[in-house]
Amino acid sequence: MFETLKADYKAVFEKDPAARNALQVILFYPGFHAILGYRIAHWFWQIGLKSVAICISFIVRRLTGIEIHPAAKIGKGFFIDHGMGVVIGETTEIGDDVLLYQGVTLGGTGKHKGKRHPTLGNNIVVGAGAKVLGPITIGDNVKIGAGSVVLKSIPPNSTVVGVPGKIVRRNGHKLTPAEQLAHGDVPDIEYEMIERLEQEVKILKEEIARLKQDLASIISKVSD
């Protein structure tokens, strides 16, 4: 556990440029408090003291505004920036070096038992307010844009935006720390679609204008 917590602590400085020193992180970072509380609660869950684990999780939620079920499985180097409103469900599985922003939900769909929450791979960024729902798999090196709603599995090395979430970019490489922090740097697919439509309308208008000129020329010749 201590090696994992060390990686979590190190991730704060790697993924948050506002983090200045150890005292600041330990005292004033709810995202770090939440993952620390989760690690302890998860240990109690694993040894069968589930009521104790739930109690710790409840206290951490009251203190931080972040709800992580103690049964969830979370790898090392995990960081929640700002954190308020983050929910991580019971059967969620998260790999290493994952970054979540405020308002993210890793939730289930329906009331069925068993695996009902998402599985996230390694080196993933989930933007503010994004919802990843159901027993789907998010591949390594995926960036999910703020406010997106992801309901289907996503292959590795992809960028996802929209409601419902759609793949708009396949980079084919691992996200660097700088790319992780640039979680707002995603394509505006609605703007791009409108821009394409405007271009097509412009082309059609020009074509119609040429046809009108040709028709006027033909009528003029016939009249003569």
HEC profile of the chain: CHHHHHHHHHHHHHHCCCCCCHHHHHHHCHHHHHHHHHHHHHHHHHCCCHHHHHHHHHHHHHHHCCEECCCCEECCCCEECCCCCCEECCCCEECCCCEECCCCEEECCCCCCCCCCCEECCCCEECCCCEEECCCEECCCCEECCCCEECCCECCCEEEECCCCEEEEECCCCCCHHHHHCCCCCCCHHHHHHHHHHHHHHHHHHHHHHHHHHHHHHHHHHHC
What is the spatial distance between Cα 45 and Cα 53, in angstroms, rounded to a whole number? 5
Hey, which residues does 80 pair with through a beta bridge? 100
Task: pLDDT band for 189, please (50, 70, 90 cuts).
Answer: low
At 188, the pLDDT band (50, 70, 90 cuts) reads low
Q: In this predicted model, what pLDDT tens digit does every residue of 152-163 receive, in sequence order?
A: 999 999 999 988
More confident residue, 167 or 65: 65
Asked whether the predicted pLDDT for residue 168 surpasses 70, the reply is yes
Q: For position 179, what pLDDT does the model report?
A: 56
Q: What is the pLDDT of residue 36?
A: 95
* Amino acid letter, 152: K
Residue with the larger pLDDT of the pair 198 and 117: 117
pLDDT of residue 186 exceeding 90, the answer is: no
Is the pLDDT at 174 greater than 60, yes or no? Answer: no
Look up residue 148 and give its two tokens: 């997106």
Q: Which of 106, 109, 64 minimizes the C-alpha distance to 89? A: 106
**Residue 207 pLDDT more than 70?**
yes
The pLDDT, as a whole number, for residue 213 is: 86
Q: What is the mean pLDDT of the chain?
A: 88
Return the pLDDT at 193.
75
End-to-end CA distance of the chain: 94
For residue 91, pLDDT beyond 60: yes
Lowest pLDDT segment from 39-48, 83-92, 113-122, 189-198: 189-198
- Which positions ≥6 away from 19 have C-beta within 8 Å? 12, 13, 25, 29
pTM above 0.85, yes or no: no
pLDDT of residue 118: 97
CB half-sphere exposure, 157, CA atoms < 13 A? 5
